[in-house]
Amino acid sequence: RMPASIPEAGRRHRASAAFSLSFLSLVFSITAFTSSHWCEGTRKVAKPFCKGDTKGDLCIRFNSPDGNNSQAVQYIWETGDDKYVEKNFHAGIWYSCEEMINEEGEKCRSFISLTPASDRGVLWLSIVTELLYVILLLIGNILMSVEIFYYSSVIDGLKINAFSAVVTVLAGLLGMVAHMMYTTVFQMTVNLGPEDWRPHTWDYGWSYGLAWTSFACCMAAAVTTINKYTKTILEFKHKRKKLERSFRIQYNFPDH
């Protein structure tokens, strides 16, 4: 029979720390998965012609005082880079959005439709892996909460603890693979994607950082859970040896 005097407060503290890290990882992963700011940048597009009384630097103007006079020769003032304007864009796993010229709002397109056909399989694999990552994180959170609030004995808690550690480690590995696959697909789309989408400049956005923060929290939760399991086992062994030693001393009678 296992001793019941192993410090309860220490186990609870480690279990709460692991649960908090795992819960943060779950929230971060869902937020990143549903957002469209994994990558951000600018696109260089030709300015449209100014219509009517439109003024500003976002359209091409004419120097003709009478636009309705068909015999008037019209010259475009803009030359070289002045003919172009930069539009901000952001892209995620599901869709890509860019701001509209001379209008408010954004125009969004499915990122899957922009991906080269040869890389769509990898993108779908990344999406499935990301979903499995979220599901395993959810299972790990449920197991950790059960361990904290509902288990009746230390032995039951140890069994749940071991299973939650395995699930959390597996989730972290899947998350790492999913993030790396999406990074590869995005870089291929930048090089081989449609001409009317390719960015002029780009960098990783806050969602990308949040996804990797989620992975870091997941692995920290896994390490904390494994550490808790190992410490509990060592405490068991230490207490048992202590009890055995005390029994030997208590019942150690002289031979005569």
- Annotate 27-70 with DSSP letters as a single string: HHHHHHHH-S-SEEEEEEEEPPBP-TT--SSSSB-B--S-TT-T
Asked whether residue 137 is domain-assigned, the answer is yes
Torsion sign over Cα 130, 135, 137, 138? positive
List pLDDT tens digits, range 53-65. Answer: 555 555 655 554 5
Averaged pLDDT of the chain: 79
The total number of residues shown for the chain amounts to 256
Containing domain of residue 27, as a range?
9-35+116-230
**Inside any domain, residue 220:** yes
Assigned domain for 102 exists: no
Q: Does the residue 195 lie in any domain?
A: yes
Amino acid present at 45: V
Label residue 100 by pLDDT band (50, 70, 90).
confident
**How do residues 232-253 score in pLDDT, each as one tens digit?**
776 666 666 666 666 666 665 4
Angle subtended by helix axes 154-192 and 8-34, to nearest 10: 20
Residue 249: inside a domain, yes or no? no
**In this structure, how many other beta carbons lie within 10 angstroms of the beta carbon of residue 203?**
9
Is 188 contained in some domain?
Answer: yes
80, part of any domain: no
Q: Using the structure block, give the residue that is written with the tokens 């960015």.
A: 199
- Provide CB contacts within 8 A for 46, sequence distance 6+: 83, 84, 85
Tell whether 161 is covered by a domain. Answer: yes
Task: Indicate which CATH number applies to the domain containing 134.
Answer: 1.20.140.150
- Work out how many domains the chain is built from and give that number: 1
pTM over 0.85: no
Work out whether strand 95-99 and strand 39-46 pair parallel, antiparallel, or are unpaired.
unpaired
